[in-house]
Amino acid sequence: MSTPASVRVLEMQMLLLKRIWKTNLTLSFLQPLLFFLGMGLGVGSLVDGRSSSAAALGDVSYAMFLGPGLLATTAMLTAAGESLWPVLGGFKWDGSFEAMAATRLTASQVVRGQFLWLAVRMGIAVGGVAVVLAVHPDTRSWGILPAVPAALLCGLVFTAWITAWAASREYDTSFSNVQRLVITPLFLFGGAFYPVDSLPELLRPIAWVTPLWHGVELCRGFTLHSLGAIEMLGHVGVLVAWLIPGWILCDRFFARRLYR
Partner 1 sequence: MTANEQPVIRARSLTKKFGEFEAVRGIDVDVRPGESFGFLGPNGAGKSSTMRMIAGVSPITSGTLEIFGLDPATHGSEIRNRLGVVPQADNLDGELTLLDNLIVYGRYFDIPRAECVSRAKELLDFVQLSDRSSGRVDSLSGGMKRRLTIARGLMNRPEMFLLDEPTTGLDPQARHILWDRLYRLKQQGVTLVLTTHYMDEAEQLCDRLVVMDAGRIVAEGSPRDLITRYSTREVLELRFGAGRNAEYEGRLAGIGDRLEVLADRVLVYADDGEAALREVNVRGLTPESSLVRRSSLEDVFLRLTGRSLEE
Tell which residue, 164, 140, 177, 135, has the closest CA to residue 242: 164
Residues 98, 135, 225, 245: which binds partner 1 (CB under 8 A)?
Answer: 98
Report DSSP state, residue 197.
Answer: G
Q: Does 145 bind partner 1 (CB under 8 A)?
A: no
Binding residues for partner 1, total number by CB under 8 A: 26
Stretch touching partner 1 by CB under 8 A, among 71-79, 101-109, 195-203, 220-228: 101-109
Stretch touching partner 1 by CB under 8 A, among 52-60, 88-96, 141-149, 185-193: 88-96
Minimum CB distance to partner 1 smaller for 121 or for 235? 121
Q: Does 114 bind partner 1 (CB under 8 A)?
A: no
Tell which residue, 107, 87, 251, has the closest CA to residue 166: 87
What angle is formed at CA 79 by the lines to CA 235 and CA 172, rounded to 5 degrees? 130
Q: Does 22 bind partner 1 (CB under 8 A)?
A: no
Q: Does 120 bind partner 1 (CB under 8 A)?
A: no
Minimum CB distance to partner 1 smaller for 101 or for 151? 101
Residues 79, 84, 101, 178: which binds partner 1 (CB under 8 A)?
Answer: 101
Residues 103, 174, 177, 198: which binds partner 1 (CB under 8 A)?
Answer: 103
Q: Does 59 bind partner 1 (CB under 8 A)?
A: no
Tell which residue, 245, 180, 177, 169, has the closest CA to residue 211: 245
How far apart are the C-alpha atoms of 148 and 127, rounded to whole Å?
A: 7
Helix/strand/coil for 46: helix
Q: Does 171 bind partner 1 (CB under 8 A)?
A: no
CB-based burial label for 33 (10 Å; 0-12, 13-18, 19+): middle
How far apart are the C-alpha atoms of 259 and 253, rounded to whole Å?
A: 10
Minimum CB distance to partner 1 smaller for 103 or for 174? 103
Residues 102, 202, 229, 230: which binds partner 1 (CB under 8 A)?
Answer: 102
Residues 42, 59, 94, 180: which binds partner 1 (CB under 8 A)?
Answer: 94
Cβ atoms of 256 and 110 closer than 8 Å: no
Minimum CB distance to partner 1 smaller for 3 or for 52? 3
The CA-atom distances, in angstroms, between 71 and each of 22, 159, 213, 223 are: 21, 15, 12, 10
Residues 27, 30, 46, 99: which binds partner 1 (CB under 8 A)?
Answer: 99
Instruction: Kindly provide the residue ranges of all beta strands, DSSP E only, lying in the chain, ordered along the sequence.
Output: none
Residues that bind partner 1 (CB under 8 A): 1-3, 5, 8-9, 11-12, 15-16, 19, 94-96, 98-106, 258-260
